[in-house]
Amino acid sequence: MSGKALKIAISGKGGVGKTSLAAMLARHLAATGRRVIAVDADPVASLGAALGIAGHEDILPIARMHDLIHERTGAEPGKMGGFFKMNPKVDDIPDNYAAVKDNVHLLVMGTVDHGGSGCVCPEAVMLKALLTHLTLFQDDALVMDMEAGVEHLGRATTKGIDLMIIVVEPGARSINAAKMIRKLAADIGLTRIAVVANKVRGPEDEAALRAALPDFELLGFMTYDPKLVEADLAGQLAYPDGFPAPITTVLDAIITHAAA
Ligand SMILES: Nc1ncnc2c1ncn2[C@@H]1O[C@H](COP(=O)(O)OP(=O)(O)OP(=O)(O)O)[C@@H](O)[C@H]1O
Ligand SMILES: [Mg+2]
């Protein structure tokens, strides 16, 4: 295959299925021949589990890789002040520090839990560089599983994103969250946004979601599937033998839209 690199972020209210979708999209992109960088940007990391990566519980988040951050920024993590490089080298990180399965390279970002949102500390500089300066080659794809809600939506995390998917489920709360996310995204210049509906139980849900989101681009509907709940309960990969055709259709719609 041959095509331009893609950067797709997945956002939405808590529990709507962001991580499930991010994992399926990453697996599908990899199955179609791309090198995929899957970024878990949620401090409560769960993308590794959804990808079925063995030992995902033990992955050390990048923000906790003190030696690496020290080496690349020239500063001791956890210490404020002093001088450090604002553009640390990051291009080797997917190859050397990601957990890999079937051409999906998982990077767990972790939390920068001091200094507040405006933190200019080595950990934050490192994560920001990873999200903004990582060189993606032709046929690469980056899929970012975002934290629920809107507070974390920043220029640094969303820079260069080709498409941000907002996942909604039948219910007013996720619809309101979608509207808030779109507004905040527009404030920081991110306007390439589309919605994917999840946990849809039937035509009534579909109609209600269409009516509630009249001016959103709706890329597809994924049905409520108890198999996904069972897989999560058992800590197993969802659809290990391939995705049902309707899900593949939604995944392809996302890719086509992002590439347009
Ligand atoms: N289409 C679906 N049908 C049934 N269950 C689903 C579906 N999609 C996701 N789920 C289940 O819903 C739960 C939440 O999904 P997931 O973790 O993907 O959501 P999330 O938006 O990433 O949550 P969080 O905000 O906590 O990160 C999981 O148990 C998952 O298996
Ligand atoms: Mg999640």
The tens digit of pLDDT for each residue in 115-134 reads 444 566 888 888 888 888 88
Atom of ligand 1 nearest to the CA of 199: 1
What is the structure's pLDDT at 127?
86
The 10 Å Cβ neighbour count of residue 87 is 12
pLDDT above 90 coverage of the chain, percent: 75
What is the average pLDDT across 26-53?
96
Residue located nearest, by CA, to atom 30 of ligand 1: 229
> Which ligand has the minimum distance to the alpha carbon of residue 201?
1
What is the average pLDDT across 68-78?
90
Is the CB of 18 within 6 Å of ligand 1? yes
Residue located nearest, by CA, to atom 6 of ligand 1: 228
What is the structure's pLDDT at 255?
97
Is the CB of 224 within 6 Å of ligand 1? yes
Lowest mean pLDDT among 3-12, 17-26, 131-140, 159-168: 131-140
What is the average pLDDT across 239-249?
97
More confident residue, 79 or 51: 51
Is the CB of 174 within 6 Å of ligand 1? no
Pocket residue to mutate for ligand 1, from 10, 11, 13, 20, most atoms within 8 A of Cβ: 20
Pocket residue to mutate for ligand 1, from 19, 42, 145, most atoms within 8 A of Cβ: 19
Atom of ligand 1 nearest to the CA of 14: 25
Confidence check: pLDDT of 1 > 70:
no
Confidence check: pLDDT of 251 > 90:
yes
In whole numbers, what is the pLDDT of the chain averaged over residues?
A: 91
Atom of ligand 1 nearest to the CA of 233: 29
Is the CB of 229 within 6 Å of ligand 1? yes
- Per-residue model confidence as pLDDT tens digits over 128-161: 888 888 888 889 999 999 999 777 777 777 878 9
What is the average pLDDT across 206-215?
97
What is the structure's pLDDT at 115?
46
What is the average pLDDT across 210-230?
97
Is the CB of 158 within 6 Å of ligand 1? no
What is the average pLDDT across 58-83?
87
More confident residue, 152 or 47: 47
Confidence check: pLDDT of 77 > 90:
no
Lowest mean pLDDT among 28-32, 84-88, 201-205: 84-88
Q: CA nearest 28: which of 233, 227, 222?
A: 222
CA 180 – CA 154 distance, rounded (Å) = 14
Centre of ligand 2 from the C-alpha of residue 17, in Å: 7
